[in-house]
Structure formats: C-alpha cells, structure tokens
Structure 1
Amino acid sequence: MASFREVEYMDAPRGHRRRRRRRRQRWGRVAALLLIVVLGLAAYKLTDGFSSFSLPVSVPLDNTDTEFDYDLDALSAQITDDMFIGECGDEEAEKLRELAADNSEWRDELEFMAANIGIYREEAVVTAINGVEKTPFALLSAFRAPDDSGLRAGIEISEGEVPYLLQYDSRWCFHAYGSSVMGFTACGPACLSMAAIGLTGNTLYTPAYVADMSEAGGHYVMDAGTAWSLFTAGAAELGLRSETIVVDKNTMKDRLEAGAVLIAAMSPGDFTTSGHFIVIVGTVLGGGFKVYDPNSIERSGRTWSFDRLAGQITQLWSLTYSGTPSDIQQPAAGETYIADCEEFITLRSAPDVNASAITTIPKGGEMTLLGFEGAFAEVEYQGQRGYVLSTYIVPKGDSAYPTAAWGYGDVVSGLQRLAEEYPGQLELSSIGTSVEGRELPAAVVGEAGAEYEVLIQGGIHGREYVGAYLTLCQLEQLLEHGVPEDVRYHFIPVSNPDGLEISHTGTLGQAQREIYLSELAAGLTDLTEAEYARQWKSNAAGVDLNRNFDAGWVQIEDGGVPSSEGCRGAAPEDQPESRALAEYTRQLMPDATVSYHSSGSLVYAEYALAPQEVNAASRSLAEALGEAPGYPLEDTEELDAGGYKDWAVSALGIPSVTVELGYGDDPQRLAACAVIRVRNVAAPYVIADWLRSAAAG
C-alpha cells in the first residue's frame, strides 16, 4: 500500500504535483553539484592544488633510437682486471637486484650490472635506477670509449616540427662530451639541438654537433656541466635569437603561441636530483604545458601544470629564429669537402701553420668538415682529425666560384644580371667615378623608409677582388631568399675599380709604370712588372684609398710618394673614389657599415680615436659576424690610420667593422672563393639580427 506521503502526493492537484517534482529534481542537481565539489576539493588536496594532476600526451618517437646490439656472454668475456674502478659496491648492487626483480624486460641486464658492479661508474648505476629504460646504455657504458659518433645522424622532420630527441639515443650517446659521454651529461646540447632543428629546419644540428660546438665555444665547464651561455651565445651560433624571460604563465603561453621554443634550467625536483634542462614546446588543453625531456620519455608523455613547473625553473630562455633563411648555404659539420691544391695539403694537429703534421691529403681527397677556426678548417680525414688551411678546400660538388680572373667587368655584368632577374627589387646607381673614369656602382635592396640602413662595401684595394665577389653573392642571396622587412642594404661592391682592373689584367698604365720603375730603381721591389701589377692595391693615382680618410690621417708617415700600396695622398678624401664613398656615407648615415678586405680570416672592430660606446657596439657587431665563419676578433685599437672603418666610427659615430677574408697572399686563389662564400654569405642577416638586438638593449 502506498505511504501516506505517496497518497498525499498522488492526490494533490496537478499543479502542486509538478512543483514537487521540480523541487525534487532541483535537490537532485544540488546533490550532484555538491558531490562534484567534494570530489574536486579532494582531488585538489591530493594533487597539491592540481599541480601534480597530469593528462597523458603523445610523444613523437620517430627520431629516437634506443636499440643497442650486444650479447651478455660476449660482454662478460671482455671484462679485464683494469676495468675495475671501484666507484660502486654492495649497496648499489643490491639496488640493481631489487630493480631487476620488478622489471622482467631488463632483468638480465640489471643482474649483469649487479654481478659486475666494480666496473661501473656511479653515473651508470644511477642512470639505470632512475630510468630503467636506459639500462642498455648504462650497461654498455663500461665497454664503450667516448667517440665522435652521431654527427651525421639522420633526423627527419616536417616543416615547423620540433623533434623529440634523447640524450641517450644509441646514435650519439657515447659521443664525447666534457669529462664523460653525451648519454650522461648532454641534456643541454640535446635541448638546444631540438630547438635549433625545429626553428631553422637544419637537421645537421644534431645533439652531437651541438655538443662539439658547446665545447669549442667554452660552454662546457669541467666538473660542472653545460653553462647557461650555451643558450645565449651558443644559440646565436646556430642562427637563433635568445632572450631570458620571466617565469610567468601568460608570458610563456604568448611566446609559445608566437612560435618560440622555450628551454628551462631545472632545479632538483620532478626532473632531476641536481640540475637539468628541458624543452617546453607548447600548451595543451586545460592550460598545461607540453615538455620534451631529453632524458625521459615518460616525463615527456605527461602534461605539466604551470604551478608544478614554476617552482623548479631556475632560468628560462625564449628562442626564436633569427631570420637567416635555413636554405642559405652555411658552414655545417658533416658536409664533405675536397682538397683543391696542386699536389697535397697538410693535416695538422692544431690551427697553426707551425703545428705538427698528422698526414697529407692529396688533391681531390675527401674529408668531413667539423668546423672553422680562423684561417683553418677542422676536418676528419680517413679517421684522423686535424686542421687544414681553409683556402685549399671546397665543398664537394660546388662549382659556383669564379673559374677565371675576376675583374671590374664581372662586377658590372653581375649587377646587371641581378637587376634583370629581379626586376623592381634592385636599385642600381653610381656614387661617383674613378681616376680613370669608371663608375663606382651602388646596389640597394630593401624597402625605402626601413627602420635600419646598412652599408656594405668591398674592393677598396685593387688586388682584394674577393670582397667585391662576396658582396655580389650576399646581394644575390638577399634577392633570392628575401630581404628583412626592417632593413635596407646599400652595397658598394667595388670602390676602387681602377685598382681592381690593374690587378685583374696584370697590366700597368703609363702612370703606374712610372711608379713601378721608380720603386724598382730604388730597390723597393724586385717583382716583375706583371707581378707588381697583380699585387696592386692603390687606385690609378697610386694612393691607397684605405689610408685616405680623415682618421688619424696626419699621423701617417708614408713619404708622400705614390705607390702600389700605403700612400695616404695629399689630403684626406683628395681622391675621387674615397670622396665619393665618404659623401655617400655622410648622406646615408647608416646604422652600421661592414668593409670586406683580404686576407687573414679575422675581424677588426675598435679604433683608438673612436668614442668608447661606438667601439663597444662595433666590437659586439664584430663578434656576431665572426661567430658563424669562425673568424676571431683582432683585439687591438692600434691599427693603420686613415681607414674607412676608422673614419666611420670616429668621425660619424657609426658602429663599423672590417672583415678580412681568406688567407695568405693576394690576390686570393679562385677556388678559395667557395669557402669564403659559404662562411660569409649569410652576414647581412646576421647584421639585421644584431641591429634588432642592439635596439632592444
């Protein structure tokens, strides 16, 4: 029988019954909401304010390889008495046995390590205990010596993809890094490698490549590990712009949405017991962050809340692409070069012509490029590492350098060709004429009214044709790959056309022949007339144009006699070429100037008579330009007076540098143009990035 309440309810008027039904439904919803709140509060408490709440995320493993080839019986047979180092003992062995009992997949390997604990370093045991999936690497660490593996590891990505890479990847885990191998110590290089490949698209920037770059650049501190400078100065070497940012949730999300990649230095906590680096690659639904940990697939497969990460981040860098197109040919480790010489070149133990010889490389011999250092290239030839003069090697298959003597006509025809191939993009004009009436061509690219103006000039010395050649290469690259929107470039490929023609043809005119005969009679030269002409630096009047500017000009002691080189002239800018270049510079007042000379493979920046702040800016620009080609900064203010660069910094206050190309006597070998181009063709983009960084303070 129905209860009294049920009867009362059923007998109630229809409108009253509806109200009661709605009332019961409301109470049901309230109860459900209360239950959700209670469960939420419980979850909040259990997850430390949701900071440890984590949803799984997918981790792309296409570019990881953790397969190792080994046989435990064969390894056991390789153990010798001298392998016992005694860092670990019974306590560590017991931990490995306990781990083995719970991990059937790696049980045999862990028990092997426990049984032979005396041959293992503590870092190997800790690696296995803290991440059992790394056991094969830890196991083999006692049997593998540090090597140079992984420089040419194949990494494949789609456009804009940041690859997930492991420091203990079998392709490079035993690559030497610091006092150990990458599998133990290279979380920093692995992180920068992920960022660099993702941002530039250059898959040659493998973790092994970055590790070598890190050591060469002084970014590894022995017994301390990777220095933070790897993510600033080191990142710049890879064409990245680095900025230290605050650990703020909105700032991090904004940077990631804008296409940046974040690298974080982590303190002890979820990721490390000492110090570690991770990559933050994006955000996920719910407000968390996606992390790539080079030392843990498991940690990379979780969502991380801001609160959980923030308390462990000690430094945070935002990395973006600096603007140098990735398809511009730039020096990259792993590329094949060939010896371009008469008979052979010498592989030396150090970047010094007096260093001991390791072996010789015959003409046409192939070698692997490891990097550049000054006038030298570090290479590997038939398993031996050493240094060769870079002017005697060319990229394999590269035929884009001059095959015949290069002169003024080549400059003019080259500019005309570019104007025809890129109509409306290149402005050609003349800034003046030479002593013999030749035009001084100017080529301008970029939007009028751009934020920055840059002047790049070459060929101020007759025999230094490579400066003119390089400026045309740079101009063509800008036209082909795109001019930065905020920069307008002014190229003066050859500011000494008469001198270039004298050297190019090896022929002296009447005025130059009189100079030659005078010096020959005075015993100042013993060259033949043709040799003398080939080495001509001055303009047709016998004045060295790079000593004809008003920068300490009065202090130059040259005897006042015209010559093939060194004569300052009768007064500053008394030559039509120097006067035209100076006037163009004064009217333009560019934000920076770069002058190309040869030879030396180095960069000059400072000048004793320039303001301190201008010298500092010039030095900063020089360091930026020298990084990619490996050109050192010549640290001196006591240079020859009267130079264009010295005048620009002291008289106009414009940050300016001089880059010396090539090595040895001028004119440079034609084949040397290939390496000179590869090492310097991206310089205009480097200048643009430097200008932006300088403006940002």
Structure 2
Amino acid sequence: MKRFIVSIVGTLILLSYPLQVETKTKTPVYSVLQYEKEIMDLKKRYHLNLMSIGHSEMGKDIWAVKLGKGKKSILINGSHHGREWLSTLLIMKMIKAYAKAYEYNVTIDGYPTNILDEVSLIFVPMVNPDGVQIQQGDLSAFDLKEKWALFRMNNFSTNWSRWKANAKGIDLNRQYPAGWNEVDTNTQTPQYQFYKGKKPLEASETKALYLFTKQIKPILAVSYHTSGREIFWYYHNKPENILRDYNLVKKVTAQTGYKLSIPKEYANGSGYTDWFINEFERPAMTIELSHLVDETNPPIDVIYEEWNRNRSVLLMLASEALSTL
C-alpha cells in the first residue's frame, strides 16, 4: 500500500513537471541547448573540425572539436557528471579564445598558439548531456515512464541539482576498465550518483569516449571536473614515469594555484584518467574547478576566476608535451 501511494504521488508530481520546467530557472545555468548552439556557431566562425563520437543514452550527440594541425594531440573532456557543467563552460571559453588567437597567430599569456601546428587540442566538452539536462531540472526529453525512473533514482526527490549520473543512473566516471572490480561505491542500483554499473563501459557515453580515445591515441589527457581546486594525477603510474608526470602536473599547479593531490597508497580507480594512465602509460590529470561546493553545481559566476586560472594551461601543456612525450 505504501509503495502504491508513493507511486501515485510521484506520478502526480511528474505529470505537473512540464509546468515546473517552464518556470524552473532561478539561478543562471549553462544549458545543453546553449552549448549546442555555441559549438555550431564556433564551427562556422573558425571552420573547426567538429565530429560526433557517439550518442548519449537518450540519443544526443557527443561532440568532439579539433583545434590545430598537429599530428600529436591532447584530449580534453568535461561534464562526465551532470552537476559539473561549469567544466563545459570553461572548455567552450578555451575553444573560442584559442581558435581566435590561432587564427591571428597571437599569444595567450606569452604562449604562442602556433604550437597547435604540432600538437592539436581535441575537446569533448560535454560527455554527459543527458545528466546535465536532468541536473538543470529539464525533463522535457523524457516520457512519463522515464521520468518515474529518474524520480526513483533520485530517491523520490525533486531536487535535481545534485544529479551526477547519466540518464540510466550510472556514474560515468566509475565506468572505465582500470580497477573497476575493486571499486566499492556502496551503491548497488542505479542512483543519482556513485553507481558504477554492472560492468565497465556499460554506459554509451563512456564507451564512446573510450573508443574515441583509443582511436586518436593522445599523448596526454585532461579531464575537467568540479569542485575543490585540486588536481589528481596518479593511478599506479609506472615507476619510470612518475617523475615525468609529477613534474608536468607541478607546472599546472603553479599556473592555476590548485593544490596537488597526494597519491593514496591504493587509488580508487575506474575513472577516465585512471584508465588513460594505465592504457597508454602517458600523463593524465583530473582538474577540479571551483571552490568546494556540496552536492550541486558551482555558481556560474565562478567561471571568471576559473578562466583566469586556466586560460593558458593547455598551451603550456602542449609545449611541454612536445618536448617530453
């Protein structure tokens, strides 16, 4: 009887949701629609190489943008998690600034953009578009049955701002084949966060990024997340690579002011950069943007400080990678 009542109440809430969606915006966000429009506009303006590397669980394109002519490449991604869309906004600012500077052959903070003739930057700005849309309270793409499933995975709460997973309740950054079996997230069923799935690469989004990464074989990977202003760089790195990788990430901490994570004796595993380090034996780093926030997105106005901290990081990494990798 209790489950029946909860079901009826939940259905009534969800039936009213289209009205809520129309009036939901109380604080500014960077939406999936804004992102898609901006990426198409940048493609036209700067003749960027834009490609779909796969689709989300709900069929949205997962876009990749290549900037530069270099045969070597660095892969940068954002928004593995729905509530971390600030990472996409930062990446889009990077694409716009770098593309404009590259077109006119000017520097950014003293770093020449013609380095992109030798090392391309390949961006996947939004790995989890469904999760971003859910987190921002827009359930317009879902039918009633799907809304009910989301409501259940959100522990029967309409507080969508904490949503981290994809549309199937899988945490995309717990899906990669590096220590997946050993990771215990204390979550055994699809949820708004932490559920690692039944097997690695189960989610279509992680599978798409995994296959794309294996296809292009970048020399370095950067995964932007929020929050905490911290950089994670270690996952059982080979002893002969530790000093190389440490020296590289130290340059990033010096430039951004973010703290450097102290490697734990047993790293968590199953994240994108964990897998990249193990698969390619090359450096990778997870960069946490913004001051620390609880289970929600950072406020959008923090983007100005994060941009100032990160605006030339990728050009620095391209220069360093060219000489050391």
TM band (smaller chain): 0.7 to 0.9
Q: Is 1:505 equivalent to 2:125 in the alignment?
A: no
Deviations 1:613-650 (A, max 9, x none): 34433322221222112112111144432100000001
Q: Is 1:588 equivalent to 2:220 in the alignment?
A: no
Which structure 2 segments of 5+ residues have no match? 1-26, 103-112
Change (3 A) 1:519 1:481: closer
Q: Is 1:488 equivalent to 2:120 in the alignment?
A: yes
Deviation at 1:579, TM superposition (A): 0.4
Partner in structure 2 of residue 651 of structure 1: 279
Partner in structure 2 of residue 630 of structure 1: 257
Q: Is 1:600 equivalent to 2:232 in the alignment?
A: no
Question: How many residues of Structure 1 are paired with residues of Structure 2 in the alignment?
Answer: 280
- 1:454 aligns with one of 71, 74, 83: 74
- 1:672 aligns with one of 295, 298, 302: 302
Deviations 1:122-157 (A, max 9, x none): xxxxxxxxxxxxxxxxxxxxxxxxxxxxxxxxxxxx
Partner in structure 2 of residue 161 of structure 1: none
Q: Is 1:407 equivalent to 2:31 in the alignment?
A: yes
Secondary structure, aligned partner of 1:555: coil
Q: Is 1:442 equivalent to 2:64 in the alignment?
A: yes
Match runs of 1:37-436 below 5 Å: 404-423=28-47, 426-436=48-58
Q: Supply the distance in 2 between the matched residues of 1:413 and 1:619 (Cα, whole angstroms).
A: 38
The structure carrying a bigger helix percent of its residues is 2
Q: What letter corresponds to residue 123 of structure 2 in structure 1?
A: F
Q: Identity rate of aligned residues, in percent? A: 26
Secondary structure, aligned partner of 1:628: helix
Deviation at 1:477, TM superposition (A): 1.5
Q: Is 1:517 equivalent to 2:152 in the alignment?
A: yes
Deviation at 1:512, TM superposition (A): 5.7
Query: Which region of structure 1 is more displaced relative to structure 2, 426-435 or 632-641?
Result: 632-641
Deviations 1:368-422 (A, max 9, x none): xxxxxxxxxxxxxxxxxxxxxxxxxxxxxxxxxxx83112112211111112221
Deviation at 1:504, TM superposition (A): 2.1
Secondary structure, aligned partner of 2:240: helix
Question: Which structure: larger Rg?
Answer: 1
> Is the contact between residue 615 and residue 649 of structure 1 (CA under 8 Å) also seen in structure 2?
no
Q: Supply the distance in 1 between the matched residues of 2:242 and 2:190 (Cα, whole angstroms).
A: 32
Deviation at 1:539, TM superposition (A): 0.5
Q: Supply the distance in 2 between the matched residues of 1:562 and 1:545 (Cα, whole angstroms).
A: 12
Q: Supply the distance in 2 between the matched residues of 1:539 and 1:434 (Cα, whole angstroms).
A: 8
Q: What letter corresponds to residue 97 of structure 2 in structure 1?
A: Q
Deviation at 1:451, TM superposition (A): 4.8
Secondary structure, aligned partner of 2:53: strand
Q: What letter corresponds to residue 173 of structure 2 in structure 1?
A: N
Q: Supply the distance in 1 between the matched residues of 2:154 and 2:205 (Cα, whole angstroms).
A: 24
Q: Supply the distance in 2 between the matched residues of 1:540 and 1:620 (Cα, whole angstroms).
A: 38
Partner in structure 2 of residue 467 of structure 1: 87
Partner in structure 1 of residue 15 of structure 2: none
- 2:178 aligns with one of 545, 548, 551: 551
> Is the contact between residue 83 and residue 164 of structure 2 (CA under 8 Å) also seen in structure 1?
yes
Q: What letter corresponds to residue 127 of structure 2 in structure 1?
A: S
Q: Supply the distance in 2 between the matched residues of 1:630 and 1:577 (Cα, whole angstroms).
A: 31
Change (3 A) 1:620 1:670: same
Q: What TM-score does the superposition give when structure 2 sets the normalisation length?
A: 0.81
> Is the contact between residue 453 and residue 490 of structure 1 (CA under 8 Å) also seen in structure 2?
yes
> Is the contact between residue 154 and residue 163 of structure 2 (CA under 8 Å) also seen in structure 1?
no
RMSD over equivalenced CA pairs, Å: 1.9
Which structure 1 segments of 5+ residues have no match? 1-402, 522-527
Partner in structure 1 of residue 3 of structure 2: none
User: Relative contact order, CA 8 A, sep 6+: which one is greater?
Assistant: 2
Deviations 1:55-98 (A, max 9, x none): xxxxxxxxxxxxxxxxxxxxxxxxxxxxxxxxxxxxxxxxxxxx
Q: What letter corresponds to residue 550 of structure 1 in structure 2?
A: P
Deviation at 1:692, TM superposition (A): 3.1
